[in-house]
């Protein structure tokens, strides 16, 4: 009897423990920060764990420079190189070192490409927290937390048991916290497709050839150099080839490049700095289309830069062409990858017909349209055909003077449209992900106005003609806002005007 009683209670205890651990894990995952905005650190780091063992030949380490600047999918498509970008926003070389050790548990890369920006950047605890949170619990993670030491303002235990830090976050939870794990196909082997493009940059300030080497000298941070040496020694001990490189960056100076070159020479390493004009022009760089912002490449720039790096890698290292292996799997969602490339093209294209044509190829976005002023009789046959292809049912050329028109072309192929005479046309509601929207075309005190609002924030350019905003529900982001002047056929783009 006692034996049965003990066995029964033992089973109950084990069941209780299993349920407790499961609920504790679920609570932790729900409450902790998800790091899915901007650099999408969660996806970049977590997707690495999903790679097949020993499927990687080149590992890129660095900060957001590589997350936006190097596209491993393009490396594969162009040259058959199997690569991954294991970095993140302001990632320190300490972080890079411990993630290199983490990577070596399942992968055996023959080449490490180390982006050098971090040598001149301070360690930021909140950024390092992202890299710690996404690392699996192991001795390596414990050592990472210990190494943060003086850079930590929170207890080491809160890094190892995240719910200690995030337990009070319940009041901030949103739909994104619940659904964030359902669609991890948003960072492609560590690359983050950027639907942004910065224009009006000064090419002479981008290149460093004209800089004075003796002015604006920034010292390399000693704690970054410490882990730089650790990475060098680790690669030497494990017979891994290490190459240093620098992506194009507006704030980079010749004095920075000279210091890194001296460090490379000291350790007998190759250093490729693409801020020198000779290297920058080697991949057909275009400053009008190739920068996401001042310091990061756009997706178009990353594609060209990745091809350039692929040429270097294939010329200097004996890397297998994985395209020749019929069973090799990049382990990405090609459909979403191609769709996001279309998103990126939407912010670099300024030709109206080309832009609308790209939009017709997009199958997972919502399109909001509001007219300003009289548009009847002004829509060309080509533009009208493309709008109809997008799903627009109203003949805009048939609109009378003073008509206000709005439309919501949904991601599932349906449309909601409204026309009013000399008043206000409005459509509002919530999208499938719960985000609110409002589309308004109105005449107020004799003045025509438009509004294209997402979650209460209006981003309409409010220009004469067609004001259009494109929004991705799956990515929780507005892709682009434009205004098409129907008289001239010219288009103004919100992103490219920033």
In three state form, how does the secondary structure of the chain look?
CHHHHHHHHHHHHHHHHHHHHHHHHHHHHHHCCCCCCCCCHHHHHHHHHCCCCCCCCEEEEECHHHHHHCCHHHHHHHHCCCEEEEECCCCCHHHHHHHHHHHCCCCCCCEEEEECHHHHCCCCHHHHHHHHHCCCCCHHHHHHHHHHHHHCCCCHHHHHCCHHHHHHHHHHCCHHHHHHHHCCCCCECCECCCCCCCCCCCHHHHCCCCCCCCCCCCCCCHHHHHHHHHHHHHHHHCCCEEEEEECCCCCCCHHHHHHHHHHHHHCCCEEEECCCHHHHHHHCCCCCCCECCCCCECHHHHHHHHHHHHHHHHHHCCCCCHHHCCCCCCCCCHHHHHHHHHHHHHCCCCCHHHHHHHHHCCCCCEEEEEEECCCCCCCCHHHHHHHHHHCCCCCHHHCCCCEEEEEEECCCCCEEEEEEECCEEEEEEECCCCCEEEEEEEEECCEEEEEEEECCEECCCCCCEEEEEEEECCCCEEEEEEEECCCCCCEEECHHHC
The list of the chain residues with pLDDT below 70 reads 1-5, 7-10, 12, 15-18, 20-40, 160-186, 495-498
- What CA–CA distance (Å, rounded) separates 176 from 195? 20
Burial 307-327 (b: 16+ CB within 10 A, else e): bbbbebbbeeeebeebeeeee
Give residue 38's pLDDT: 54
CA distance 359 to 363: 8
Name the burial class of residue 293, with classes exposed (0-12), middle (13-18) and buried (19+) by CB atoms within 10 angstroms of its CB: middle
Q: What is the pLDDT of residue 4?
A: 56
* Burial track 207-222 (b if 16+ CB lie within 10 A, e otherwise): bbeebeeeeeeeebbe
Which pLDDT score is estimated for 141? 93
For the chain, give the mean pLDDT: 87
pLDDT number for residue 475: 73
Degrees to nearest 5, angle at CA 466 with 461 and 468? 60
For residues 267 and 161, what is the distance between their CA atoms, to the nearest angstrom?
39
pLDDT for residue 421: 86
In this structure, are residues 390 and 360 in contact, taking their beta carbons and an 8 Å threshold?
yes
> What was the pLDDT predicted at 31?
44
């Amino acid at each position: 009897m006692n034996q049965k009683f003990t066995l029964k209670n033992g089973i109950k205890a084990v069941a209780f423990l299993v349920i407790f651990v499961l609920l504790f894990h679920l609570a932790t995952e729900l409450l902790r920060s998800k790091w899915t905005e901007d650099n999408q650190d969660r996806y970049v780091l977590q997707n690495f764990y999903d790679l097949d063992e020993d499927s990687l030949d080149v590992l890129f380490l660095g900060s957001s420079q590589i997350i936006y600047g190097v596209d491993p999918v393009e490396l594969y498509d162009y040259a058959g190189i199997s690569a991954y970008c294991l970095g993140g926003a302001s990632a320190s070389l300490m972080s890079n070192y411990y993630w290199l050790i983490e990577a070596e548990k399942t992968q055996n890369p023959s080449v490490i490409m180390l982006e050098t920006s971090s040598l001149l950047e301070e360690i930021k605890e909140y950024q390092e927290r992202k890299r710690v949170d996404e690392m699996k619990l192991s001795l390596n993670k414990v050592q990472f937390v210990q190494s943060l030491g003086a850079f930590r303002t929170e207890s080491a235990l809160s890094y190892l048991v995240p719910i200690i830090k995030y337990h009070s976050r319940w009041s901030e939870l949103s739909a994104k916290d619940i659904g964030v794990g359902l669609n991890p196909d948003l960072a492609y082997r560590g690359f983050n497709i950027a639907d942004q493009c910065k224009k009006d940059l000064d090419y002479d300030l981008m290149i460093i050839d004209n800089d004075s080497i003796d002015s604006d000298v920034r010292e390399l941070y000693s704690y970054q150099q410490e882990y730089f040496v650790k990475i060098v020694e680790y690669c030497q001990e494990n017979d891994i080839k290490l190459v240093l490189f620098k992506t194009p960056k507006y704030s980079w100076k010749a004095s920075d490049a000279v210091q890194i070159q001296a460090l490379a020479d000291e350790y007998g390493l190759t250093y490729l700095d693409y801020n020198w004009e000779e290297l920058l022009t080697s991949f057909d760089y275009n400053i009008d289309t190739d920068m996401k912002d001042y310091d990061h490449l756009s997706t178009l720039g990353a594609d060209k830069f990745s091809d350039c790096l692929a040429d270097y890698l294939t010329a200097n290292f004996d890397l297998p062409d994985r395209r020749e292996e019929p069973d090799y799997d990049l382990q990405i969602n090609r459909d979403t990858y191609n769709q996001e490339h279309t998103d990126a093209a939407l912010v670099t294209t300024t030709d109206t017909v080309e832009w609308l044509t790209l939009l017709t190829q997009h199958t997972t976005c919502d399109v909001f349209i509001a007219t300003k002023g009289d548009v009847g009789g002004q829509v060309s046959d080509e533009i009208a055909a493309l709008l109809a292809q997008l799903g627009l049912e109203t003949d805009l050329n048939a609109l009378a003077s003073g008509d206000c028109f709005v439309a919501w072309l949904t991601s599932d192929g349906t449309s909601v449209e409204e026309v009013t005479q000399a008043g206000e046309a409005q459509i509002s509601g919530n999208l499938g992900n719960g985000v609110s929207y409002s589309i308004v075309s109105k005449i107020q005190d004799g003045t025509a106005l438009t509004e294209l609002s997402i979650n209460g924030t209006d981003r309409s350019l409010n220009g004469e003609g067609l004001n259009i905003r494109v929004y991705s529900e799956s990515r929780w982001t507005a892709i682009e806002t434009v205004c098409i002047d129907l008289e001239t056929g010219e288009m103004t783009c919100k992103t490219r005007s920033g």
